[in-house]
Amino acid sequence: MKNKQVALIAIFLSFVLVSCTGQETKQTIKGSAVSGVYVEYLFCDYGPDMSDESFNGLLKDWNKLLDDLGPNSVPRSVGLVPRIETDLYDRLWVLVWPSKEASIIGWQEWVDGPAADWTEKTSSIISCGASTNGQVENYGFDVSFLRAPNVIDEEPGGVVGFNFCRYTEDFKEEQLVSSSQGYNQWLDAASAATDRESYWYSIHVPDFETPIPGSTAGAYDYAFHHVWDSEETRVAGVALFASTAPAASEPQADCNPEMALYDSMIFRMNDM
């Protein structure tokens, strides 16, 4: 169990902001990324006919429609349910695209095709802001992976967390990249103690002006996005962080102290 806990490191807020070298680089997030995607978060509200049965049927129909549309359809999607209720939405519907250009093409085909009929058919179950035009309550991010995400998303889903951060006079993009390198070394050492990885992260840079009206996150420059494969993994990581993480000795970003947590569910998982 001890080795498993070591391998399940899921570092909390402070460690991801530590600069292990204290040296500035001229690196950028995109330039340092091993890969990247474009991700859209749709705000969705439940209708009077929402139930597990009706929603599962809706997902089956949605995937069939996308398969019929062809290769320009969104390849991956997940759902996020907030741990703390918000007036902004009941659920987030997340679309993962290879690029922003792919998103524009895919949305146009959706709007020109089944969008209107789909919205009429499903609005009593769930209503998402981007159902018809891809613009309203649809927030896009340029997502960079500063460490290869070796974890494969599996059913039934896991736990997702966000820290919303602003740069400061002493902590800029270069320092974020530098601190992530030390973070990656710790994660690499931890994963060597187990036969699989149970955590990954990415950097989300908003493709819109923050703050989102009504959001408690406020204005931010980036979101530090965490993914655990289970609540057990997350809890073990938080406990391990509290007992072993080094104290921050370098300048840090200005981040919300509380991580926003969501339970995740896989909606669609095709190759990109």
Whether the per-residue pLDDT at 56 is higher than 60: the answer is yes
Tens digits of residue pLDDT in 119-157: 999 999 999 975 454 445 789 999 999 988 766 556 667
Give me the domain span that covers residue 209: 1-272
**For the chain, what is the domain count?**
1
What's the pLDDT at 207?
97
| DSSP string covering 184-213 | HHHHHHHHTTSSS--EEEEEEEESSPSPPT
Q: What is the dihedral of CA 53, 57, 58, 63, to 10 degrees?
A: 140
Distance CA 262, CA 248 (A): 27
Where do we find the tokens 């990885």?
197
- Check residues 99 and 24 and name the one with the higher pLDDT: 99
- Check residues 241 and 21 and name the one with the higher pLDDT: 241
Residues recorded for the chain: 272
Cβ–Cβ < 8 Å for 163, 259: yes
Amino acid identity, position 112: D
Looking from the CA of 210 toward its CB, the CA atoms found within 13 Å total 18
Tens digits of residue pLDDT in 169-179: 999 999 999 88
Q: Which two tokens stand for residue 42?
A: 């749709």
For residue 142, give the CATH number of its domain: 3.30.70
Mean pLDDT, rounded, of the chain:
84
Whether the per-residue pLDDT at 21 is higher than 60: the answer is no
Tens digits of residue pLDDT in 187-205: 777 676 554 578 889 999 9
Average pLDDT estimate for 23-38:
83
User: Rounded to whole angstroms, what are the CA distances from 102 to 42, 70, 74?
Assistant: 17, 13, 8
Looking from the CA of 100 toward its CB, the CA atoms found within 13 Å total 10
Tens digits of residue pLDDT in 207-266: 999 999 889 999 999 999 999 989 998 888 777 767 766 677 788 999 998 999 999 999
- Listed residue (258, 249, 200, 256) closest to 229, CA to CA: 200
Name all contacts of 255-259 with Cβ < 8 Å and 24+ positions apart: 255/13, 255/17, 255/163, 255/164, 255/165, 255/166, 255/224, 256/163, 256/164, 256/165, 256/217, 256/218, 256/220, 257/13, 259/12, 259/13, 259/161, 259/162, 259/163, 259/226
Where do we find the tokens 């080094």?
246
- Listed residue (253, 173, 172, 265) closest to 227, CA to CA: 265
What's the pLDDT at 75?
97
H or E stretch at 32:
helix 29-32
Least confidently predicted of 36-50, 104-118, 191-205: 191-205
